[in-house]
Amino acid sequence: MGDKKQDRTAIEKAAQTVAENDYPHFKAAVEYARQYTTLGPNALGLVSSAELLREYAPARDSQVRNLGDGLKKLEEAIKGLSTVAYRMAVTEVANTIDLTKVPKLTISKPSKVHVDKSPSAPGVHLVAASLQLTASWSAATFLKCYFSRVMLFGSMATVTVSLGMWATVQPDDDEIGTVMSGWLRVAGQLDQVGSLGRMDSKDNASLPRSVWDDDARDAFDRWASNFQIEVAQAADEARGATRALDDALSAIQEIQKAMVGFDSVTAGFLLALFLIGMVPVFRAQAAVAQQLIALSNSLATYFSVGTIVGQAATYGYKMRQLSGAGAFHKLRIDNDPDQSYGTDEVNDTFADLDIDWLRS
């Protein structure tokens, strides 16, 4: 093996590089996912959110667990490399990398400004979408409340029903914007995780084969390559969460805009009928017409609310599709001559490192 002490130093340095470069970003991704991707019970309104969270909440929890599992595997890899380095020179004290002392990234609540500046293309649209949801909802609410001012005749039940149904889909654009930004932050942090996958690259070999080269190293390299692929997949899934929400919000925007347009027409007709009703001979007919028009608005509101709920459910379904198994693979390197290294994706673990050949 050559100069074991020199080889040990090279492996320790490679482990330290992963600890200082990859670990902080991966940990930040986990924290952003844990703290800022939870949608509350009223994010898209009381009714819509109930349908949304049916799928979104377990999908989001699965993603968070997967990321937490990946962070644990990364910690095991760093400790495993330290163990390899220690066994290169067993007469010396084992080197330990204290992950609590590696650089820490500041985790703060994502803001709309940060989303807007994100290099991810959906970010700008997501901000506009979340703001327009509240604007459209508010405009429709104002118009529905305005109906009561011009319907001085007959029952106000139809107006009350229309307004009540619309109130069930009141969005919280601040919460939506934070969650979208949170997923983009997760993706952005995972994009910075790459040192482990470049250990044996020709251009920047932080752990060249000359310092550790055997069948156990082959298993480690395969695992490191797979781990890097899994990190990239996790980043894509985080971006997929924002893209899916972008699609849902765009559809909801169109529904809300259509409702605002219908409300505007309704308000115009009701105002005209109010003026006509001031003429005694047309008062009864105007009152009946007002009720019919208000009823049509209630039916349109019911249809709009139902469609919005459907869009929320569709987003939840897309989130479930993104949250597949997703667990990061483990690796065992025990140097058993009959052992096929790194092939059991469920039970192999790099933490159970036992490399007897280093003792000879």
Burial class (CB in 10 A: 0-12, 13-18, 19+), 335: middle
Neighbours of 196 (CB within 10 A): 27
pTM of this structure: 0.77
Closest CA to 305 of 145, 167, 176, 143: 167
**Cβ-contact 232, 359 below 8 angstroms:** no
- For the segment 6-32, what is each residue's pLDDT rounded down to a tens digit? 577 888 888 888 888 899 999 999 999
**Cβ-contact 112, 175 below 8 angstroms:** no
pLDDT of 4 above 70 = no
pLDDT reported for residue 350: 43
Residue 189 banded pLDDT, cuts 50, 70, 90: very high
pLDDT reported for residue 30: 94
- For the segment 57-105, what is each residue's pLDDT rounded down to a tens digit? 888 888 888 899 899 888 888 887 877 776 665 545 455 677 877 878 8
Kindly state the average pLDDT of the residues 168-192.
Answer: 87
